[in-house]
């Protein structure tokens, strides 16, 4: 007597009934492939996926530029505070000359590097650029900080040039110096949000992301 009870898909089936004596002849069933999950299907799409080495390189560059940008803005904030509350003209001159140099040669390049490497990493991995809300939020915040930085560069250069030409006291250009501290502090807080988003990766797929994922799954199903 043969038993038609199955142990599982894709394997041979043997008798498990209590009434059977001895072993029953095995029944061969056609092997069936397990259903593909959506993530497995999308991981096979190599048209938008980078190689492992290139992906690690892009990730390293993005982390280095993002962390470097945070550190540079923190240093800029420290110098801006020192210039705002400095008691000696020499201290204020050194602070604003240093802020101009850091802004032009460290913060601006790192801001563009962080933005560029983030876009490259998003496009080259399964996350996509506009498919997840947390990626879209990171892109928006980084663009916002970069735009505000570029708008502040005129003021930063003006304070640096003024400090180079003349001695400043505690009341000279106070509003402009206070604006430097406020924008640097706000920028530092805003930059912490993309860092948290990169760590937690909150769930949420955009409408474009859902449509794109459905199209890719249909195209990859054999």
Taken in order 72, 75, 81, 83, the sign of the CA dihedral is negative
Give residue 162's pLDDT.
92
Cβ atoms 6, 29 nearer than 8 A: yes
Cβ atoms 101, 209 nearer than 8 A: no
Distances (CA, A) of 91 to 82, 88, 104, 167: 8, 5, 20, 10
Give residue 209's pLDDT.
79
pLDDT tens-digit profile, the chain (222 residues): 444 444 443 434 444 444 444 444 444 454 554 444 545 444 444 445 678 888 899 999 999 999 999 999 999 999 999 999 988 889 999 999 999 999 999 999 999 999 999 999 888 888 888 889 999 999 999 999 999 999 999 999 999 999 988 888 878 899 999 999 999 999 999 999 999 999 999 988 888 878 877 777 777 666
The DSSP output letter for 26 is P
The closest of 78, 81, 89 to 170, measured between CA atoms, is 89
DSSP assignment of 45-56 = -TTS---HHHHH
């Amino acid at each position: 007597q043969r038993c038609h009870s199955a142990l599982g898909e894709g394997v041979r089936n043997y008798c498990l009934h209590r009434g059977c004596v001895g072993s029953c002849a095995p029944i061969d069933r056609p092997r069936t492939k397990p259903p593909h999950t959506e993530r497995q299907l999308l991981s096979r799409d190599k048209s938008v996926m980078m190689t492992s080495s290139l992906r690690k390189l892009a990730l390293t560059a993005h982390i280095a530029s993002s962390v470097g940008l945070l550190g540079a803005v923190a240093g800029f904030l420290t110098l801006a505070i020192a210039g705002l509350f400095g008691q000696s003209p020499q201290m204020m001159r050194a602070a604003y000359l240093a802020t101009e140099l850091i802004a032009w040669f460290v913060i601006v390049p790192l801001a563009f590097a962080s933005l560029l490497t983030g876009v490259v990493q998003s496009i080259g991995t399964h996350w996509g650029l506009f498919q997840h809300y947390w990626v879209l939020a990171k892109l928006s915040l980084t663009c916002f900080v970069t735009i505000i930085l570029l708008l502040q560069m005129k003021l930063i250069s003006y304070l640096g040039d003024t400090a180079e030409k003349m001695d400043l006291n505690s009341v000279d250009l106070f509003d402009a110096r206070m604006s430097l501290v406020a924008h640097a502090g706000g920028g530092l807080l805003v930059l912490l949000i993309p860092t948290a988003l990169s760590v937690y990766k909150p769930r949420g797929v955009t409408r474009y992301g859902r449509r794109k994922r459905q199209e890719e799954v249909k195209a990859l199903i054999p």
